[in-house]
Amino acid sequence: MNTKLVKTIREAITLAGLKDGMTISFHHHLRNGDYVLNLVMDEIAAMGIRDLTVNASALFDAHAPLLDHIRNRVVRKVQTNYISAGIGRHISAGLMDEPVEYRTHGGRPRDIALGITPIDVAFIAAPCSDRMGNCTGKYGRSACGSLGYAFPDAMYAKKVIVITDELAEYPLTGWSIPEIYVDYVVQIDAIGDPAGIVSGTTRMTRNPVALVMAHTAARVIQNSGLLHDGFSFQTGAGGATLATAMYLKQIMLRDQIHGSYAQGGITGYLVDMLNEGCFRALLDVQCFDLKAAASIRDNPNHCEVGAAQYASAGAKSSIMDSLDVAVLGATEIDTDFNVNVHTDSSGRIMGGSGGHSDAAAGSKLSIITAPLFRGRLPIVRDHVNCISTPGKDIDVLVTQAGIAVNPRREDLRERLTQAGMQVLEITRLRALAEQITGTPAPLPPAGRVIAKVIGRDGTLLDTIGERKEEE
Amino acid sequence: MNTKLVKTIREAITLAGLKDGMTISFHHHLRNGDYVLNLVMDEIAAMGIRDLTVNASALFDAHAPLLDHIRNRVVRKVQTNYISAGIGRHISAGLMDEPVEYRTHGGRPRDIALGITPIDVAFIAAPCSDRMGNCTGKYGRSACGSLGYAFPDAMYAKKVIVITDELAEYPLTGWSIPEIYVDYVVQIDAIGDPAGIVSGTTRMTRNPVALVMAHTAARVIQNSGLLHDGFSFQTGAGGATLATAMYLKQIMLRDQIHGSYAQGGITGYLVDMLNEGCFRALLDVQCFDLKAAASIRDNPNHCEVGAAQYASAGAKSSIMDSLDVAVLGATEIDTDFNVNVHTDSSGRIMGGSGGHSDAAAGSKLSIITAPLFRGRLPIVRDHVNCISTPGKDIDVLVTQAGIAVNPRREDLRERLTQAGMQVLEITRLRALAEQITGTPAPLPPAGRVIAKVIGRDGTLLDTIGERKEEE
């Protein structure tokens, strides 16, 4: 019987011909429950292979063992779209000689497809695979739903290794990635911790500030002229962004508005909106909870999209290009509407663009929901520490104290004011923030460049400087 | 609203930048009902563009107007996997200066992916598309089911034009080809004649010779050692090959054998076998009838596969590599088991490999069903006029007068004889044929090369020589 099954990860690495200095890749659908990146990196380290570039669609705190592989020069360079704070602060402290290359969820597939960031060996954690590598995230005890971010890795890497903990009879139907791209399949005991892969349910926030912002954001959408039959929508899984969907749903059901689709990372809340007729389809690059993972398995209108189809500016089009409204977050936003989602207020890495810049650029209306301040730090500032998404792509800022519209969107300001909404200057929101927090002291100058922020079109947007721990 | 819709085929051709000497491509899922190839070629001719290479996955008699475009030098060269007799005899008569390049259904996607046969502009006839080019064959009044042969064209052509007669709301879910590959969408009145696209139902043959061969072929499969749970199968839509499925079904139901999948071009007969539990899945690159087209739309275990996944020897694997048994036809077979499906007994083009060579090479057991003679011409001969599939890839010949096993498969001959089946030498079958038909006079020498037969791995298998009409 024809098979691509090999016994161990090590055997697959050997067969794939991995050598010093090559590039390997990982996807992040198993999120903070992922075991695969660490298992593979430990094996590579034990094999004595060094100076690798790791291209991972995102890095979570579960991947902290990677830090030791960086220290030991197993890993020389990192390319990613997101780094969680637990890893980020070490990168910020100057762990790596070479700067991290940050991309967006749309820039990564673009640069892989264009050969700008070639991959030698892709490791694909797959909750279910057959012996020939037809694999999916929809089935198996580690089911995570969509495997969209891994599509470009599978299509363009020279060698592709699928690592699974559930082997299906050939042929697995409903594959996410077909066998034509796969070289080797390894079955292991567990590819991840189900509790960390998808949350049980995405909880709706009860934070009153978040609810106020969400309610306002929903009114902005309602009055934008975009909320009619065919409406399309992207939002996140966190606080105010998800709560915006809650208020939006009330409006859509009340006014019998039948949207076309919601997209991006998908929560059970958006599944409910699909099932209640708010949308005709969900286009899903990442499932955030169990309800989303079950829905993408069972509902043909809940469709998996690859990273290129989600967001690539290099594709002939992506679903971003048809998006009406995106509701996004920010760790900082400045008076030119530039948004920072890479660093915290001390300039240390604690995130990344993910699909932020892509959705902001693609959507007809991009809304940032952000509180005026967090702790004692203002969120609206003169200049962000890092430009993650350029201000030209942001239309509206919603805070608990009011909204500001990008001067570039005078048409929108008029619509909103005519609808009775008060629109403030963004400098006024900054002043309101600083009334409470005081004017923040400027950060001391950063050190050498430890990360480059590359925009979705491949241009350098900004750099992030070293911040020693003692600062 | 973002859209790729343009008003006319001409506008799309102009926008795509089509110029003299370029290569354009077409797929053949609309079969003899296709309007699109002719509409596009007429438009190109009217625009004065010349010297094109046409890469079409197959050409049917409905495409006869292409002959005039060849005469007028709009078309300089043809690359294809199949040419029906009505067009083939003109090619054989010397219509073209450059030889036709024949490939297989697996060789075509291989050579497109490798850049051996680059495509400048692909024209994709799609029974349903949205404004951004997400398109499928599953819906619409011209529904044809799978669009698998068009996948490589979409993925690798520099420009891709989708031509549809049914525009769906964005986003079309259940796309065959996603928008990331599509440049322009044109809506026209009709892309084809439904009567010619898929037949109403595929009729089971009543020809007694075909039924005898089919019954024998099913017994060969039964006694081959391959017919057990997990069994996989490919057969055609014609006479004895489809009838083999009928007898096989009886055996599988009686003996409660649960196969894994049937693949290739799919008929309603195979759909019945899926629904009755003979197979767990259908992997479909081409629907032959209405029942197949409805099933691929409605049954998630009836899966669309692209041409590379079906058969490419350049992919990391294709479903061919897991295939147990293929039942195939032949216009001639010689005593070395070489098979001809390109030319008739007078040496004139009337077909092509399609997936013949791919299935023969990939399967563990390849069976040719062919009558000893057709009309007054023997089918089993000393040498075939054209080697379409090399004898090394053929295991068994089944005729109405008995079976022959390739000497390469002594193991199989033993199995069959132990099961009580009489196995003859293939030379004996040739002699039996010639007893009835007489020894055929050798064909007069052919003229210059008018077609090259390129194997699935890219090597030249054979050439076909000119045959003037008056011969």
Q: Measured between CA atoms, how close is A261 to chain B, in angstroms? A: 7
Tell me the chain A residues in contact with residue B303 when contact means C-beta distances shorter than 8 Å: 171, 173-174
Asked if B322 is an interface residue toward chain A (Cβ–Cβ < 8 A), one would say yes
Ranges of residues in chain A whose predicted pLDDT is under 70: 470-471
Cα angle: B391, vertex B396, B401; to 5 degrees = 120
Asked if B173 is an interface residue toward chain A (Cβ–Cβ < 8 A), one would say yes
Q: Measured between CA atoms, how close is A264 to chain B, in angstroms? A: 14
Q: Is residue A196 a contact partner of residue A219, using CB atoms and an 8 Å limit?
A: no
CA separation for the pair B469, B451 (Å, rounded)? 16
- Strand pairing report for B339-340 and B460-465: unpaired
Q: Is residue B197 a contact partner of residue B146, using CB atoms and an 8 Å limit?
A: no
- Measured between CA atoms, the residue of chain A closest to residue B226 is A1
Beta partners for residue A187, in sequence order = A164
The confidence score (pLDDT) of residue B440 equals: 86
Picking from B464, B452, B465, the residue whose alpha carbon sits closest to that of residue B103 is: B452
pLDDT tens for B402-411 read 999 999 999 9
Chain centroid to CA A410: 30
Q: Which helix (H) or strand (E) holds A424?
A: strand A423-424
CA separation for the pair B394, B366 (Å, rounded)? 5
C-alpha to C-alpha distances, A241 to A267, B330, B430, nearest whole angstrom:
12, 63, 77
Instruction: Show the tokens assigned to A121.
Output: 């060996």
Residue B201 in this model has a pLDDT that exceeds 80: no
For residues A77-91, b (16+ Cβ closer than 10 Å) or e, as one string? Answer: bbbbbbbbebbbbbb
Asked if B304 is an interface residue toward chain A (Cβ–Cβ < 8 A), one would say no
Residue B231 in this model has a pLDDT that exceeds 90: yes
Residues 376-435 on A with a CB inside 8 Å of B are none
Amino acid at B161: I
- The shares of helix, strand and coil residues in chain B, as percent rounded to the nearest 5, are 30, 25, 40
Is the CB of B319 less than 8 angstroms away from the CB of A283? no
Instruction: Show the tokens assigned to A235.
Output: 């939002």
Is the CB of A317 less than 8 angstroms away from the CB of B180? yes
C-alpha to C-alpha distances, B403 to B212, B397, B419, B429, B436, nearest whole angstrom:
11, 5, 14, 8, 17
Q: How confident is the model at residue B204 (pLDDT cuts 50, 70, 90)?
A: confident
Q: For residue B254, with 0-12 CB atoms within 10 Å meaning exposed, 13-18 middle and 19 or more buried, which class applies?
A: exposed
Residue B87 in this model has a pLDDT that exceeds 90: yes
Asked if A261 is an interface residue toward chain B (Cβ–Cβ < 8 A), one would say yes
Tell me the chain A residues in contact with residue B313 when contact means C-beta distances shorter than 8 Å: none
Tell me the chain A residues in contact with residue B183 when contact means C-beta distances shorter than 8 Å: 316
Instruction: Name which of B182, B281, B322 is nearest A173 (Cβ-Cβ).
Output: B281
The confidence score (pLDDT) of residue A441 equals: 87
**For range B306-328, the mean pLDDT:** 97
Q: Give me the residue label for tokens 């055996």.
A: B251
Residues 6+ apart with CB under 8 A from A247: A214, A215, A217, A218, A219
- Measured between CA atoms, the residue of chain A closest to residue B132 is A317
Local structure of residue B320 (DSSP, 8 states) = G
Amino acid at A377: L
Q: Which residue has the higher pLDDT, B204 or A79?
A: A79
Picking from A303, A279, A284, the residue whose alpha carbon sits closest to that of residue B300 is: A303
Q: Is residue B467 a contact partner of residue B92, using CB atoms and an 8 Å limit?
A: yes
Length of chain A (residues) = 471
Asked if B319 is an interface residue toward chain A (Cβ–Cβ < 8 A), one would say yes
Q: Measured between CA atoms, how close is A115 to chain B, in angstroms? A: 15
For testing contact with chain B, the best of A317, A318, A324 (most B CBs within 10 A): A317
Asked if B317 is an interface residue toward chain A (Cβ–Cβ < 8 A), one would say yes
Q: How confident is the model at residue B470 (pLDDT cuts 50, 70, 90)?
A: low
Instruction: Show the tokens assigned to B450.
Output: 């008018």
Residues 6+ apart with CB under 8 A from B409: B395, B396
Residue B293 in this model has a pLDDT that exceeds 70: yes
**For range B192-198, the mean pLDDT:** 86
Amino acid at A249: K
Asked if B169 is an interface residue toward chain A (Cβ–Cβ < 8 A), one would say yes
Is the CB of A180 less than 8 angstroms away from the CB of B281? no
Is the CB of A230 less than 8 angstroms away from the CB of B169? yes
Asked if B171 is an interface residue toward chain A (Cβ–Cβ < 8 A), one would say yes
Instruction: Name which of B4, B174, B319 is nearest A171 (Cβ-Cβ).
Output: B319
Tell me the chain B residues in contact with residue A182 when contact means C-beta distances shorter than 8 Å: 316-317
> Cis before residue A171, ω within 30 degrees of 0?
yes
Q: Is residue B287 a contact partner of residue B296, using CB atoms and an 8 Å limit?
A: yes
Instruction: Name which of B1, B180, B306 is nearest A315 (Cβ-Cβ).
Output: B180
**For range B346-357, the mean pLDDT:** 96
Neighbours of B469 (CB within 10 A): 10
Instruction: Name which of A173, A318, A322 is nearest B170 (Cβ-Cβ).
Output: A322
Instruction: Show the tokens assigned to B458.
Output: 């890219």
Instruction: Show the tokens assigned to B278.
Output: 């003979």
Task: Say what the alpha-carbon torsion angle B323, B56, B4, A388 is, to the nearest 10 degrees.
Answer: 50
Asked if B180 is an interface residue toward chain A (Cβ–Cβ < 8 A), one would say yes
**For range B116-121, the mean pLDDT:** 98
Is the CB of A171 less than 8 angstroms away from the CB of B321? no
Picking from A258, A335, A346, A330, the residue whose alpha carbon sits closest to that of residue A301 is: A258
The confidence score (pLDDT) of residue A470 equals: 62
The confidence score (pLDDT) of residue A140 equals: 96
Please give the mean pLDDT across all residues of chain B: 96
Chain centroid to CA B201: 19
Beta partners for residue B135, in sequence order = B129, B177
pLDDT tens for B448-464 read 999 999 999 999 999 99
Is the CB of A2 less than 8 angstroms away from the CB of B322? yes
Is the CB of A173 less than 8 angstroms away from the CB of B317? no
Instruction: Show the tokens assigned to A177.
Output: 């990635």
Amino acid at B67: L
CA separation for the pair A243, B308 (Å, rounded)? 44
- Measured between CA atoms, the residue of chain A closest to residue B280 is A171
Is the CB of A316 less than 8 angstroms away from the CB of B160? yes
SS3 B413: helix
Is the CB of A133 less than 8 angstroms away from the CB of B280? no
CA separation for the pair B205, B198 (Å, rounded)? 18
Sign for the CA dihedral angle at A5, A7, A9, A14 comes to: negative
Local structure of residue B376 (DSSP, 8 states) = T
CA separation for the pair A421, A416 (Å, rounded)? 5
Q: Is residue A433 a contact partner of residue A442, using CB atoms and an 8 Å limit?
A: no
Instruction: Show the tokens assigned to B407.
Output: 């000497």
Angle, helices A268-275 vs A239-254, to 10°: value is 10
Asked if A309 is an interface residue toward chain B (Cβ–Cβ < 8 A), one would say yes
For testing contact with chain A, the best of B114, B322, B363 (most A CBs within 10 A): B322
Secondary structure (DSSP) of A229-282: TT-EEEE-SSHHHHHHHHHHHHHHHHTT--EEEEEEEE-HHHHHHHHTTSEEEE
Q: Is residue B288 a contact partner of residue B266, using CB atoms and an 8 Å limit?
A: yes
Q: Which residue has the higher pLDDT, B442 or B122?
A: B122
The complex scores an ipTM of 0.96
Neighbours of A14 (CB within 10 A): 14
A with B: how many residue pairs have Cβ under 8 Å apart?
A: 108
The confidence score (pLDDT) of residue B195 equals: 84
